[in-house]
Chains A and B, each alone.
Chain A
Amino acid sequence: MTATAARVVAESAGVTRRFGTFTAVSDVSMRVAEGEIVGLIGANGAGKTTLIRILLGLLAPTAGSVSLFEQIPSRNTRQRLGYVPQSLGLYTDLTVTENLRFTARAFGSSVPAALSDELSAVKDRLVGEIGLGLQRQLAFVAALAHSPELLVLDEPTSGVDPLARSRLWDTIHEQADRGVGVLVTTHYMQEADQCDRLVIMVAGRVAAAGTVSEIIGGRTAVQVDTEAWDEAFHALTEAQLPVLLAGRCVRVPDASVDDVERALARAGVSAHVTAVPSTLEETLITLGRA
């Protein structure tokens, strides 16, 4: 990973975007430097997609400024960036090879010579027929073909099996190691863990930013160990506390040990209640409820 001298490949400064009376993005400042992986986390509707579109130059901000490679986003900057939207941006009625040729022609690059074994096996099949995992692989290859300096990935692994997901992230890390800046959105906690830094958006604003441990801070969750996990779960839900089940283990983010003990006592459930460090997911829940 790079030190403070790293070049910034994408940056937003105080960006706000309103649609009529609705404020989609509010005063968001963030940056992606070369060689780092920044994870953009938040609910759908939190403003992630709008922010990405502004960064890409597809949408103008109502206030604030945006820069790509230290310039205003334009047709020139498009040449240096690779974007994989949520819907993949592939033509399902063309074959794998035809899709790659189209992208190559559009960017003035060449079709990658070496495809993975799995992709080579289906290079003459229609994209609509090859399955989601391979489609996501293909979308990556297409986005990387012109050697971009910035990769923007919107939910690149949604719906794919764990092995394929980890392989896609191998590619992401490879690119970051080579100096490409990566901005990625994800709903998988385990993937958020792999990012160098996270930007957490709630209702259009940045609720938290930094490394995973910085974001978790010193937050704790309450862990409930008991045989009667079923009843404990109900008692806590009745008390309007957010409850997570991890195996037989009941965890309550965003509550104090006292609150939990009281709720359990009211339902007559006996349990061993302790405060433990929060996980990233639990921190997100706390931030979301704020």
Chain B
Amino acid sequence: MSFGLSEVSVRFGATTALDHITFAAPRGSVSAVVGGDGAGKTTLLGCLTGAIEPDSGRVERPAKRLLGVMPSTSGTWRDLTVDENIDFVARAYGITGEDLRAKRGRLVAKAGLDRARDRLARQLSGGMRQKLGFVLALLHGPTLLVLDEPTTGVDPVSRVELWGMISEAAAAGAAVAMATTYLDEAERATTVLVLDSGQALASGTAGEVIGSLPGTISVVDRPADPRRAWRRGRVYHEWHPGGDSTSAQIDSDVDLEDTVIAQMLRRREHAST
């Protein structure tokens, strides 16, 4: 049974936050939604959790008890210790005794928090706090996990550890819907939806999205048209909508970031004409 959005639109006054968006989060996979600030990621996740009622379209979500949420602010209670945070969530969901001890033990060890159990959440580093937030969302065994930018601002090592926990949750059968600004993470997900100002720029598996690149990308030292170029490491990548560039420069190793930027550029150019 798949959760997700089907042709969902959300408007806030004159602004269209989501425009006929379809997003599927099947069980057993990680479904990513990417986009910058204001693209509509949080609104999309809000529809999934039920915090926002769409103006049109349909949403499939599980019962509230089977929903696990991690907001972008980690969702931890800063003045409580790691253990107290877990106790609170366990109590709210009625998880007690042996069951609680087993779950707590396993998740805390996986998150690398076992030596920080008595530390206040606000004393944890950013990465550890995000991991705690993830544990709290996962504690009651939800069938749909909704994560809003779980790794933004987190250091690379913790990011990888978090990713490990996330893909494990999916492998264990949960549906994971994750918003992120990190395209390398999006590439690792099963499916990706690219949002820009409420519109869907591309969706599908990472491979399909990359394949939806309109035109070609060339790798150059000096771009012919700076408005269609951006830096990557020491060189520039330049987008050619019509595929009109000398074949010697074409980048055969196009990745998700190339495609996303090219799609955004195309949309901006269409909008201004």
Contact = CB atoms under 8 A, between A and B. Distances in A.
Asked if A and B touch directly (CB within 8 angstroms), the answer is yes
A240 to B, nearest CB: 11
Interface stretch (B31-39, B49-57, B58-66, B82-90): B31-39
Contacts of B265: 163
B160 A244 contact: yes
A159 B159 contact: no
Interface stretch (B133-141, B228-236, B240-248): B228-236
B127 A162 contact: no
Interface string B217-232: 0000000000000111
Contacts of B126: 44-45
Contacts of A234: 168, 171
Q: Please classify the interface of chain B as helix (H, G, I), strand (E, B), loop, or mixed, using the class held by over half of its residues.
A: helix
B154 A44 contact: yes
Contact of A189 (B37, B153, B156, B196): B156
A281 B187 CA distance: 15
B156 A243 contact: no
Contact of A160 (B154, B155, B181, B257): B181
A163 B264 contact: yes
Contacts of A106: none
Contacts of A246: 184, 187-188
Interface string B131-164: 0000000000000000001001111111111011
B215 interface: no
B5 interface: no
Interface stretch (A28-36, A60-68, A166-174): A166-174
B125 A45 contact: yes
A162 B183 CA distance: 8
A177 B257 CA distance: 25
A233 to B, nearest CB: 7
B155 A43 contact: yes
A172 B126 CA distance: 26
B231 A46 contact: no
Given A132-B37, A162-B36, A237-B164, A194 B231 contact: yes
Contact of A247 (B38, B207, B230): B207
A265 to B, nearest CB: 20
Nearest to B265: A163
A45 B154 CA distance: 11
Contacts of A163: 36, 230, 260-261, 264-265
A194 B233 CA distance: 4
Contacts of B155: 42-44, 46, 187, 288
B182 interface: yes
A131 B35 CA distance: 13
Interface of B: 35-39, 125-127, 149, 152-161, 163-164, 167-168, 171, 181-184, 187-188, 196, 206-207, 230-234, 257, 260-261, 264-265
16 contacts: A42-B155, A44-B125, A44-B154, A131-B38, A133-B37, A160-B36, A160-B37, A162-B183, A162-B261, A163-B261, A193-B232, A242-B160, A245-B188, A247-B207, A281-B156, A284-B157
